[in-house]
Structure 1
């Protein structure tokens, strides 16, 4: 079983959203991203956690308790074939970042006139390339206590600060031409180069395709119907409702792609049937698309296929989603801290973040 702290971080990552949304289908691009989280006031949780992901798969983990970067996939150990000091270098760099992040929380608290309580400081950075390696997009963003703090705009090569407390940092970084150049170089050159290496190392694992199980779920006869897919891999997937063969958006609520405890993923898309006659249900169908599958998985909406809570306990719902009850509780707690950012960072970018 996974370390519960690691599972908590992965659940947290599943809920994070980004400002940028790729226009390409999810199976037409690959991504490398890192998320760093520093916190204060949370018992039994590391003060600093770093997670690296390739195409949504956790490949690296570090926290302030173990103070060591560790590979989360067997193929990530191949990195040392090209760079024997890779993991030692990562551990040292992340320890320095850990100290900077913890100090940055204290600086932010002073700027915001805060004292005690729970506070979260996060950074997200990375890049995305298409299958032909021709298009590159990248990002770097920082957030504090669930709100955007500062982000890099690759087009203008300047930093944006949605809150006035970040203006000091913005002005300093905008006039630091070397920092701007380093950030741009990481986004457009260094990150894509490492992503290509990781894709080569993990080819056999990353290209695997696990078919999902698809269910219709409904709490009661008057509730919306959820089309739920679980157990699929990779995370590059899409899901939507169709009526008479045409994709619909009205009365539809799409959920995030979330990780399961076994390394696979789950997602759902809800349809409000309150204004739809039961005679018309057969006109609706749920469509699931997954990278690696040539054909869509199409499931027609039929009453006999819908599972309800009438004769089933809540444990049933948790079982089919692949999320433990403890994880579900943790997800609820951490929703408070989720912030909508997408960003990038090179190892030395945040050493003096708020100074």
Structure 2
């Protein structure tokens, strides 16, 4: 069975986060990402946008005003907008204090094969969806009663809606194509991962863990006798590493698997752009555990450290995909 789906879909995503009541943390943070890679960063402390990739600095050399005229200006303008709206939305929820967050995620996806463009603009408040723009109907959707006032106000601003549609369907894809072209050597590279079988205890599920791969368009699954398994399998999220690569895992419950049948099971990793799959046979001799293999604890600790380092970034990534999935429904 082959699940491979090689497609070239690129994304340009802006993730803005405003917060209230969080000590020793900027009230506003902005990140621009291309294909899930952080490219530009700004916050309310530094008061300017900073490039995070070498190829972005090359673009700035050819267009010196690009960073400040677009991203620094957007960063500064959004700070007051977020601050005012946090106060307003706190009042709507009858909140007088405490820690609160407002997030905006907007941007576009572009498929260079089908020339498909998908634009999105969504807001979340305290970790839950608050209001989102429907590009098809060109109206705002309010999943919460407290957002209805904002919906009516924004729906009635026809000029802003027309500007929004033009940005999401024209300007954003044009910028995305430009960035992909400048960052081609980095963004379009293919890095294969190292794949390991991990197990905490002899009775724990076996985790097939892949780390160090790029791009993030990857699949991993367990199969038996060539057929993909769906029961007794738990799929993990694709998470970013601190070096720009990605990691993922898929667990197999082996409690009911006879030892003589182990080698019938295989973990399959597929990466977009790679010609061959990485197939790892379920073999007790190669499983890293906390007992039986001296190297096991070291490997486990390394994996734990990688996960912890990724937690902060992963939290925003998971929020992005949650909101993106909601937008596509």
Relative to the length of structure 2, the TM-score reads 0.89
1:287/1:297 contact within 8 Å kept: yes
CA contact 1:120–1:337 (8 Å) conserved in 2:
no
The answer as to whether partners of 1:125 and 1:342 remain within 8 angstroms in 2 is: no
**45 and 79 in structure 1: CA distance in 2 versus 1, 3 angstrom threshold:** same
Aligned residue pairs, count = 320
CA contact (8 A) 1:146 1:338 kept: no
1:87–1:238: structure 2 CA closer, same or farther, 3 Å change rule?
same
Aligned to 2:29: 49
Please name the residue that 2:111 is paired with: 130
Q: Could you state the TM-score of these two structures normalised by the residue count of structure 1?
A: 0.82
Three-state SS of the structure 2 residue aligned to 1:340 is helix
In 2, Cα distance between equivalents of 1:212 and 1:336: 21
Is 1:263 aligned with 2:247? no
Match in the other structure for 1:21: none
Match of 1:341 in 2: 323
3-state DSSP class of the match of 1:323? helix
Quick one: which of 233, 240, 256 aligns to 1:275? 256
Alignment match, 1:175: 156
Note the aligned Cα RMSD (angstroms).
Answer: 2.7
Q: Judging changes above 3 Å, is the alpha-carbon distance between structure 1 residues 67 and 180 closer, same or farther for their aligned structure 2 residues?
A: same
SS in 2 for 1:173: helix
Q: Which of 275-284 and 118-127 deviates more?
A: 275-284
Quickly say closer, same or farther: Cα 1:200–1:328, change in 2 above 3 A: closer
Question: Does the 8 A contact of 1:260 with 1:322 survive in 2?
Answer: no
1:118-151: CA deviation from partner (whole Å, max 9, x where unpaired): 1111111111111336111121111011110011
- Listed one character per residue, the Cα deviations across residues 44-87 of structure 1 (whole Å, up to 9, x for unaligned) are 22111111111111111111111110111011123334532112
Gaps of 5+ in 2: none
Residues 137 and 324 of structure 1, relative CA distance in 2, 3 Å threshold: closer
Structure 2 CA distance for partners of 1:46 and 1:79, relative to 1, 3 Å: same
Residue 143 (structure 1) aligns with: 124
Question: 65-74 or 285-294: which moved more?
Answer: 285-294
Q: Does 1:33 align with 2:33?
A: no
Q: Could you tell me which residue of structure 1 aligns to residue 89 of structure 2? A: 108
> In structure 1, what is the equivalent of residue 302 of structure 2?
319
- Of structures 1 and 2, the one scoring higher in RCO (CA 8 A, sep 6+) is 1
The separation in 2 between residues aligned to 1:329 and 1:239, in whole angstroms, is 21
Corresponding position: 1:190 with 2:163: no
